[in-house]
Amino acid sequence: MADKGKITIRKYLEGDENEIIDLLEYVFDGWPPVDLPCSKLEHWKWKYEERSIKGLIAAVALDEDKIIGCLHSPSVNIKVRENVFFCEPGGDLAVHPDYRGRGIWRSMVNTWTQDKWTPNIIGYNISSTPVVVKRVKARKSLMFPSPVRNYIRIRDIDEFFKVRDIPNSMVKKMGYLGLSSLAQIRNLGKRKIYENFSINTITEFDDRINDLWKQVKVGYDLIVERKKEYLNWRYCDPRGGLYTVRLVEEENEILGYSVLRINRYNPDYPEGIIVDLIVENNDEDVAASLFYDACRFFDNNDVNAARYLAPRDHFISKIIGRFGFLDSQREQVVWFGDNGDPKILETIKNSSKDKVMFQYGDTDGI
C-alpha cells in the first residue's frame, strides 16, 4: 500500500464497485456516456469482472474510507507481428475534483506498475482532449504507427451545427457540402456492386468467425485479436450495449462483418457509430458493401450524423469518402504506455503503416 499524506492507494476489493460507479458518474457528469438496457452496476461487472483475462485490473485511492480515485482497465489480446500479447487498453480513470493537483493519478499509476499488480506487457490509450494530446506529445510517447482519424458523415449540416452549438460558418458548411457532393459523384454507378453481397444481421458469432480471423490476421502487423469469445463478449452481450452485427456471407463462408451502434444517450439527437468493420484480404468491394449497408441502416433510423475511426494509411480510409465520410479534423492520439516491454514497443514502432488497425471497438467508450 502506498501512502500520500492522508491518501492511501490499494488494489480493488470486492464491494468497491458501487463507490467506484458513483465516482465515475460524478467526475464524468454521467457514466457511461451511452444508453444501456441494464443497470450501471451490471455494465461495470460485464466490462471489468467478465473481461479479466488475468484478473481484474483495478486500483483505488482513498481518503480514509472514501474512494476518491480509481484506475481500472479491461484486457485484450493484441497481435504484434507473429505473436499475440496480453494488453491493457485505456479504461476508466477518475480523480474527484476536490483532490486534483495532488499527484493522485500519478501515484495510482506508479503503484500499479512498480508493485507489478498485473502482468502488464503493453498498454495503449486514446484521447482527443487538447490538454491530454499536448501532454502526450510533450512526453514523446510512442504513437500508433499510423495517425488515427475520426471520420464523420452528416446528412443535414444545419441541424448538426445547431445541435452541437457550432457557429454557422458558411466556409465550413460549403467546404463540407462540396467534399460530400464530390464523394457522391465518385460513387455513382457502383450501387449494384454493393448490393451484390448477402448481408444479414446476427445475434451471436459462430465458429466460422475464427476462420475469418485466421485469414485477416496474416495481413496485419498490429491489431486487437478478434476471436469468437472476444467478439461475443464485446458486441453480443446486451450489458455492453445494444449493437447491430452485420455479416457478409458467401457459400457459408464469412467474408467480413460490421458492428453498428445508434447511441441514444441524447434521445433527441441519436448518433450513429460504425464500431468495427473487418473484411477478408482487405477486399475493397466487401468493405464498400458494408459501408453502403451501414449508411442505409443509419438513414432508415433517421440518424443525422455517423462516425467512424480508422488509421489514416489503412485501405478503408481511402474508400469511405465515397459514402460521405470525411475527416473531422479533430486531432485524435493513440499512444502506448512507457512501461511496456521495450522489444515489443520497438516492434510496434516499426510496423508497416498500412498494416495496422484501430477502430472504435478497440476503445472502451463505445
- Per-residue confidence (pLDDT) for residue 186, from 0 to 100: 57
Q: What is the mean pLDDT of residues 351-359?
A: 97
Contact between 259 and 361 (Cβ < 8 Å): yes
Most confident of 68-82, 102-116, 118-132, 221-235: 221-235
**Residue tagged 475534483 (cell numbers):** 97
- Report the phi/psi class of residue 281: left, alpha or beta, with left for phi > 0 and alpha for psi in -120 to 50: left
Q: What is the mean pLDDT of residues 157-180?
A: 63
pLDDT of 107 above 90: no
- Per-residue confidence (pLDDT) for residue 21, from 0 to 100: 96
- Per-residue confidence (pLDDT) for residue 298, from 0 to 100: 97
Per-residue pLDDT reduced to its tens digit, 229-271 = 999 999 999 999 999 999 999 999 999 999 999 999 988 899 9
Give the span between the Cα atoms of 250 and 273, in whole angstroms. Answer: 26
**pLDDT confidence of 53, banded at 50, 70, 90?**
low
Q: In one letter, which amino acid is 228?
A: K
Instruction: Give the list of residues 6+ apart from residue 73 with CB closer than 8 angstroms, or none.
Output: 57, 88, 89, 90, 91, 92, 123, 364
- Per-residue confidence (pLDDT) for residue 79, from 0 to 100: 96
Q: What is the mean pLDDT of residues 284-292?
A: 94
**Cross-strand pairs, 263:** 271
For the sheet with 66-73, list strands across it. 2-4, 7-11, 57-63, 66-73, 92-95
- Per-residue confidence (pLDDT) for residue 108, from 0 to 100: 85
Mean pLDDT of the chain: 87
**Residue tagged 458501487 (cell numbers):** 18
**pLDDT confidence of 171, banded at 50, 70, 90?**
very low
Q: Where are the alpha helices (DSSP H) in 197-283?
A: 208-217, 228-235
- Per-residue confidence (pLDDT) for residue 213, from 0 to 100: 98
* DSSP annotation of 45: I
- Per-residue confidence (pLDDT) for residue 88, from 0 to 100: 84
Q: What is the mean pLDDT of residues 303-315?
A: 96
pLDDT of 174 above 80: no
Instruction: Give the list of residues 6+ apart from residue 279 with CB closer than 8 angstroms, or none.
Output: 216, 248, 255, 256, 286, 287, 290
- Per-residue confidence (pLDDT) for residue 257, from 0 to 100: 98
Give the span between the Cα atoms of 275 and 226, in whole angstroms. Answer: 13
Domains annotated for the chain, with CATH where assigned, are: 2-120 (3.40.630.30), 148-362 (3.40.630.30)
Residue 245 burial by Cβ neighbours in a 10 Å radius (0-12, 13-18, 19+): buried
